[in-house]
């Protein structure tokens, strides 16, 4: 058996315990492509965590300048290899090169790395606090332990375990990373890691700051996530997988930031439907089928009033879905999961309006629209919130705005919730009725815009109440907020000034924003103030 | 069977399911005192969570002014009842009225409530972020679910489930509280809750914002902590109890902020010992025996170099411990736990230098000093870090500064770590050697000061790496940071300005500090900026 090497301890080396090998598959045909990659065993996981742990203190003490230089060099390296990366990712995921991979996702990834570098240079993620009355000073600091990152299937660049937001966040906070690539795009991940290793060396950081593993079995993954040497876990993927890892990490007291699942309910208020129902049907169809619907924030449930305007919306949406060719999905696993999800929805009372069929060759599924009445939804809200990851959405037909609010209250935690309202103000009384029910159940409340598209912004929340994620207080996207997940709060009490971290000293030559006695300031601390 | 009423849904009412009754005990005699309090059953827990859930949305929507008014009225009410409260707490805990209860802890508690009110009025805990490039706005918001708070035995006011930091933090973030009083001081807790209820009514908040339960069995507690209707759990107490609650909460995706145990290592560098060893021995003895040593931040392990200066420190400390009368502990449970802890330390190789004996009457234990050599400590670091909650400390004798660092590396996560160094600069090279090993293992790094005493400061960290707490990123003390534990991150994406929360609107008449495009500002948003 032969397989590509792993990146452990700064070296590309063969798996010590090669339990198997796998190849990526071309989603459009189902045929294997590219070289074989290792399914590795416990010895390799131990080597990875051991190597990462060895450099954790050195990385924690590294000058922020070097961290920023790495993130920027990595972004530049990705750009220099853009064509090759886009080719690999396209072959492994079937996502279109243009605009998705080349013009949207790759620039988004390098932008994210550079925003992380900016947060490093500004010290924004460290949140320095100085209290002159007590002399106490506090900030956020590295965990001084490795962060284990699991990448999802659906963003080969922007959420890649070795290049995405979790990766950039963990490294920005000066923690080593053990990256677990998604096995559906191993060659893309390998190429990224090769660029990362060069950038580490250019920046003068320990080369064991980044490890790359491709695949290991479920039990080994749980053991790794529960290893007390870890500082945190970052995961984006399926609910079952994320909850298993979270359970293992929880038991060992390791914070696990897991992004699990979301159906992202969209509420169409009556005025919006009356005003622009046909346009909304098109907007909805485009959002639901973009990227074959394989987004965490795909509009999976749409709440539509009964009556003429609602019926017209449904008719238009149905015709869009019915006319669409089958979408190519990432993998056999995604297709299986999707079929299972649609079956669950149908068993719970949903009716197929369009689609619902598998396509050929490779992994294809017809864009699918389902419908159910609100009374049925309210009788089986759990089953009818089953995530069908892919180009699938369920319409819920409600009698009135009051029932919309009832439906909103039946939702589990979601990443997003969207309300479409009339431009002419006709929904101004309906809005708060629905919004008050929806707001506590979602991380991001959206107005008049589909939920797909997650801006890398300091005010983004790509997170939400359980079970969309494991903790309602954190976002996986947006700098500097995403970085704080991988930090520890450190307080200094009567510690000599010369022994304080840079951003907590009296002098503040870099103009770092610090909360001094309750006021954000960028100046030096007045002499003798504490 | 007769017992004091529970506070549920704004009413003082008898337990519906009275499984038993208990009375407080006078720790100085062991005799029962005061009325009987209920051990309640599942029906009462259900009533409490149901009542709290019912008002969660109303409380989340309450004007911050009312929340602040409640916190301030409560503080004023506590002051008006200070004499009665101090009498009750003294009787139930045997803590001295002066200075501890009347002059230190009660004012600290009312100050904490007022600092929470201040954070409410300033919106500091909401951390508003505005990104004009994308139009996204985010802040921290209420959980819109109840918070379950478990109070510890050792602070009848400042950490009381119905008056302490977790309580003030949860209410400041506009979440209802289900308070589980510690059964060793039920009458104190009842009196506090009566004052709280009056203050709720004065402030015009829902009277079901606060429930008070006294005691329920272990299994019922775990079921409650894992009830999906809860927004979060706050717990301060024993490691076993906290981990059981955390496991239940984790499984349901409920953030559990548990403060578990800590031995708070203190490192005496050679120069400090040479300079002022005798004074340090007195300072250490006072810190270790104050409040009968029943502090989360008690100096439970002191690392002392071998040699003449170290021996002199040990001799002086031993004579202080040996001359001290037995300390009164809170309860039979504390005494049992302490004896078990000392036995574990001795079995692992520690030698008793002073104390080690039970006293009479009531719950008394002699201030106890133990010693072990560093080689033994390093062979059995787990057993020799057993927390012996009470007036007990273990000295670890080290060969040199290098071995000090080795010992530091062997510590689990702790709330605090302390380094004493020479004033004349003689320890300037030793400091970083020890500090680098210690820093990632503690929440608060302290210089030349004993760890007891936890200031209510915005730069405090009363938290630390696992297993001192369940998450290294949060503090249980200090406003506004402690409040953020009980919040959800909410983002607004293209939401009409009139539908935004107060602190995220364009106009900023209250001068709230907001992070606008990366800069903290207190002014209005420039017109049309987003």
Residue of B nearest to A57 (CA): B436
CA separation for the pair B163, B160 (Å, rounded): 5
- Best mutation target among B493, B521, B529 (most A Cβ atoms within 10 Å) is B493
CA distance A417 to A270: 17
C-alpha distance from A332 to closest chain B C-alpha (Å):
30
The pLDDT confidence band at residue A530, using thresholds 50, 70 and 90, is: very low
Residue with tokens 């010590």: A16
| Residue of A105, A259, A283, A503 marked active site | A259
The count of C-alpha atoms lying within 13 angstroms of the C-alpha of A377, restricted to the half-sphere facing its C-beta, is: 28
How much is the average pLDDT of A464-484?
98
A494–B446: do the CB atoms touch at under 8 Å? yes
Measured in angstroms, the CA of A157 and the nearest CA of chain B are apart by: 22
**Backbone φ and ψ of A92, nearest 5°:** -85, -25
Min Cα–Cα distance to chain A from B161, Å: 23
Residue A527's pLDDT is 58
Return d(Cα A17, Cα A39) in angstroms, integer. 9
CA B169, distance to chain mean position in Å, is 12
pLDDT at position A1: 73
Cβ pairs bridging A and B (under 8 Å): 217
Please tell me whether residue B226 adopts helix, strand or coil conformation: coil
Q: Searching chain A, which residue's CA lies closest to the CA of residue B497? A: A447
> What's the pLDDT tens digit per position in A253-291?
999 999 999 999 999 999 999 999 999 999 999 999 999
Active-site choice (A105, A296, A387, A503)? A296
Nearest CA in chain B to A431: B499
Tokens (6 digits) for A36: 């074989």
Residue-wise pLDDT for A230-255, tens only, equals 999 999 999 999 999 999 999 999 99
Residues 6+ apart with CB under 8 A from B208: B8, B9, B10, B51, B52, B54, B55, B176
Return the pLDDT at B161: 98
The token pair that represents A388 in the structure block? 């069908």
CA distances from B269 to A492, B142, B265, B302, B395 (A): 18, 46, 13, 11, 14
CB contact (8 A) between residue A475 and residue B489: yes
The answer to whether the CB atoms of B445 and A130 lie below 8 A apart is no
Measured between alpha carbons, how far is B335 from B494 in angstroms, rounded to an integer? 59
**Buried/exposed B72-108: b ≥16 CB within 10 Å, e otherwise:** bbbbbbbeebbeebbbbbbbbbbbbeeebbbebbbbb
* pLDDT score at B158: 98
- Residue B473 to residue A493, Cβ atoms within 8 A: no
Instruction: Determine whether the interchain pair B499/A432 forms a contact, defined as Cβ–Cβ distance below 8 Å.
Output: yes
Which residue in chain B has the smallest CA separation from A118?
A: B518
Q: What is the pLDDT of residues B483-513, one digit of tens each?
A: 999 999 999 999 999 999 999 999 999 999 9
Interface contact A445-B137, CB threshold 8 A: no
Average confidence (pLDDT) over B257-283: 97
- Is A526 a residue whose pLDDT tops 90? no
Select from A124, A471, A489 the Cβ nearest to the Cβ of B472.
Answer: A489
Under an 8 A CB cutoff, do B255 and A487 touch?
no
Q: What are phi and psi of B139, to 5 degrees?
A: -160, 175
B368's enclosing H/E stretch is strand B368-373
Catalytic residue at A296? yes
Q: What is the pLDDT of residue B206?
A: 98
Q: Where are the beta strands (DSSP E) in A363-436?
A: 364-365, 368-373, 392-398, 414-420
- CA–CA distances in Å: residue B173 to residues A216, B183, B368, B461, B505: 42, 27, 42, 19, 19
Percent of chain B residues topping a pLDDT of 90 = 98
ipTM given for this complex: 0.97
- Residues of B classed as catalytic: 259, 296
Set of chain B residues whose Cβ sits within 8 Å of the Cβ of A460: 131, 134, 136, 138, 491
The token pair at A397 is 């037909």
Cβ pair B137:A519 closer than 8 A: no
DSSP per-residue string spanning B66-103: HHHHHHHHHHHHHHHTHHHHHHHHHHHH---IIIIIII
C-beta atoms of B494 and A448 within 8 A: yes
B138 contacts A459? CB cut-off 8 A = yes
Give contacts of A518 with chain B, Cβ < 8 Å. Answer: 122, 124, 458
Which among A253, A458, A487 has the least Cβ separation from residue B467? Answer: A253
Residues of B in contact with A515 (CB under 8 A): 458
Q: Is B461 within 8 Å of A489 when comparing Cβ atoms? A: yes
pLDDT digits (tens, 9 = 90+) for A105-122: 999 999 999 999 999 999
pLDDT in tens, B396-441: 999 999 999 999 999 999 999 999 999 999 999 999 999 999 999 9
**Which residues from chain A sit within 8 angstroms of residue B503, using beta carbons?**
none
Least CB–CB distance from B458: residue in A124, A484, A515: A515
Q: What is the pLDDT of residue B453?
A: 87
Q: Is the pLDDT of residue A332 over 90?
A: yes
pLDDT of B528 above 70: no
Q: Which of A136, A144, A421 sits opposite B455 (nearest CB)?
A: A136
What is the pLDDT, as a whole number, of residue A453?
A: 87
In this prediction, residue B530 has a pLDDT band, given cuts at 50, 70 and 90, of very low
pTM: 0.98
Q: What is the mean pLDDT of residues A319-337?
A: 97
- How is residue A417 written in tokens? 């919730």
Residue B90 tokens read as 């003294």
B1/B430 Cα distance (integer angstroms): 63
Residue of chain A with shortest Cα separation from B58:
A436
């Amino acid at each position: 058996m032969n397989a590509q090497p792993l990146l452990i301890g700064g070296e590309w080396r063969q798996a010590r315990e090669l339990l198997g090998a796998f190849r990526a598959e071309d989603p459009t045909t189902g045929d294997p492509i590219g070289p074989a990659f290792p399914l590795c065993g416990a010895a390799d996981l131990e080597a990875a965590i051991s190597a990462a742990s060895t450099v954790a203190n050195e990385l924690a003490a590294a000058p922020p300048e070097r961290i920023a230089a790495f993130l920027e060099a990595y972004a530049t390296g990705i750009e220099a290899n853009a064509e090759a990366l886009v080719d690999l990712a396209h072959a492994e995921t079937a996502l279109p090169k243009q605009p998705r991979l080349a013009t949207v996702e790759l620039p988004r990834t390098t932008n994210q790395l550079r925003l992380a570098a900016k947060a490093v240079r500004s010290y924004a993620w460290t949140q320095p606090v100085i209290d002159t009355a007590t002399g106490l000073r506090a900030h956020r600091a590295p965990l001084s332990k490795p962060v284990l990152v699991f990448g999802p299937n659906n963003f080969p660049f922007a959420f890649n375990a070795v290049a995405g937001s979790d990766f950039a966040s963990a490294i920005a906070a000066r923690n080593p990373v053990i990256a677990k690539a998604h096995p559906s795009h191993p060659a893309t991940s390998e190429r990224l890691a090769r660029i990362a290793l060069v950038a580490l060396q250019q920046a003068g950081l320990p080369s064991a700051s980044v490890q790359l593993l491709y695949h290991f079995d479920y039990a080994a993954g749980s053991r790794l996530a529960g290893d007390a040497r870890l500082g945190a876990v970052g995961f984006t993927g399926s609910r079952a997988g994320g909850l298993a890892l979270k359970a293992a990490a929880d038991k060992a007291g390791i914070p696990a930031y897991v992004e699990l699942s979301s159906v992202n309910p969209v509420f169409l208020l009556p005025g919006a439907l009356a005003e622009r129902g046909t346009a909304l049907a098109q907007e909805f169809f485009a959002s639901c089928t973009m990227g074959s619907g394989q987004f965490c924030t795909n509009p999976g449930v749409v709440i539509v009033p009964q009556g003429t305007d609602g019926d017209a919306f449904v008719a238009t949406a149905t015709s869009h879905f019915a006319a669409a060719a089958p979408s190519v999905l990432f993998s056999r696993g995604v297709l299986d999961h999707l079929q299972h999800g649609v079956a669950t929805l149908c068993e719970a009372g949903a009716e197929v309006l369009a689609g619902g069929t598998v396509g050929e060759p490779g992994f294809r599924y017809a864009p699918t629209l389902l419908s159910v009445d609100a009374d049925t939804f309210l009788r089986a809200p759990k089953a009818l919130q089953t995530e069908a990851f892919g180009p699938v959405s369920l319409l819920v037909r409600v009698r009135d705005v009051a029932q919309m609010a009832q439906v909103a209250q039946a939702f589990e935690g979601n990443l997003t919730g969207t309300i479409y309202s009339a431009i002419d103000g006709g929904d101004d009384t309906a809005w708060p009725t629905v919004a008050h029910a929806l707001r506590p159940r979602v991380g991001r409340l959206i107005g008049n815009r589909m939920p797909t598209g997650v801006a890398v912004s300091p005010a983004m929340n790509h997170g939400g109440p359980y079970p969309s994620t494991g903790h309602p207080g954190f976002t996986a996207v947006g700098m500097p907020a995403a970085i704080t997940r991988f930090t520890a709060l450190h307080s200094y009490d009567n510690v000599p000034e010369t022994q304080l971290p840079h951003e907590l000293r009296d002098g503040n030559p870099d103009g770092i924003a610090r909360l001094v006695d309750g006021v954000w300031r960028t100046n030096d601390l007045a002499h003798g103030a504490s």
